[in-house]
Amino acid sequence: MTVNREIHLVARPTGVPSPQDFQLASTALPEPADGQVLVRNTWMSVDPYMRQRMDDAESYLPPFVLGEPLEGAAIGEVIASRSTDVPVGATVVHFKGWREYAVVDAAAVTVADVDLAPAEAWLGALGTTGLTAYAALTHVAPVRDGDVVLVSAAAGAAGSVAGQLARKLGASRVIGSAGGPAKTAKLTEIFGYDAAIDYRAGSFAEQLAEAAPDGVDVYVDHVGGEQLVAAIDALRSGGRIAVVGAISSHGATEPVAGPGNLFSLAAKDATLRGMLVNSYFHLFPEWIGKAAGWLADGSLRTELTVAEGVERAPSAFLDMMRGGNVGKMLVRL
């Protein structure tokens, strides 16, 4: 038996989670059964959607079980296999993060080509992070030549990819929002945004009017709240909004009011469409085929914020929810 360290959810948060809601546990890991593999995880992801799963409420994914390990994307090396399809030594992506070792059904892993890109990239730009940006800008709120594109949480995992992708898809101007001068500097200096809005530095609507005086055609929304309201007001005729997330409302203890200007979408012949990345997994081969080349030639730039050790996973998650990351937040195990 192998001693395994894993993070359990031991209390359901009220509002913003706290370190006391998590517990580091040591368990004995069983051998894989027929059709399973044992993976030594090397990297794991923490993501905003995980906050919803901490509540005992119905959503598109079931809630985390108290006293059991949390789940999420991870990548690692197969160290034992009882599957002819996945050999020992393969690097695989799966959904049993928040632990150092995982027994996973072979049918539930994806073999990653680490010669194509480093292991950590398969949880970021080549994973659901990058796919989210790609699906948002090609299918949900497709970019057309000459469009003005706005992205919120633009220094985050998906947002940092979305701005660069919008340009590749023909946008004439790309505007990003982030919190604080360090992040807004990253937007223009690293991630290729034409203009950056610091939502902490005064009226978002006024800053948006200055950055896009003629309005915007596409908005990729990761935030909701004030930024969504301002984007709807700034939307031009025929504009498109992709609702990816609403991190401003995560941890709210009261119902969050929706935008009061939704009906203006009708007068603008505009669309606002939500998306779950799960619905676009069929685009993975297409996306990886493009993005791997862009990563290799340096035309797609990414950054990571890395915490070390499984015991740091809860604090990494809490830091990410407070906006403490640039690019993808990962835990190296």
The rounded mean pLDDT for the chain is 95
List, by residue range, all CATH 3.90.180.10 domains of the chain: 2-121+302-332
Q: What is the mean pLDDT of residues 71-76?
A: 98
Length of the chain: 333
257 with 225: CB under 8 angstroms?
no
Catalogue the E-assigned strands of 89-201: 91-94, 101-105, 110-111, 148-151, 173-178, 195-198
Beta-carbon contacts of residue 312 (< 8 Å; ≥ 6 apart): 331
More confident of the two residues 314 and 258 = 314
What are the pLDDT digits (tens) for 22-54?
A: 999 999 988 899 999 999 999 999 999 999 999
| Integer Cα distance of 91 and 42 in angstroms | 10
State the fold for domain 128-278. Rossmann fold (3.40.50)
Q: What is the mean pLDDT of residues 202-228?
A: 97
Q: What is the mean pLDDT of residues 305-317?
A: 98
What are the structure tokens assigned to 21, written together?
């809601």
CATH architecture label of 2-121+302-332: Alpha-Beta Complex (3.90)
Q: What is the mean pLDDT of residues 71-98?
A: 97
Confidence check: pLDDT of 2 > 80: no
Q: What is the mean pLDDT of residues 170-182?
A: 97
Instruction: Report residue 208: phi and psi, to 5°.
Output: -65, -40
List, by residue range, all CATH 3.40.50.720 domains of the chain: 128-278
Band the pLDDT of 253: cuts 50, 70, 90. low
Confidence check: pLDDT of 250 > 80: no
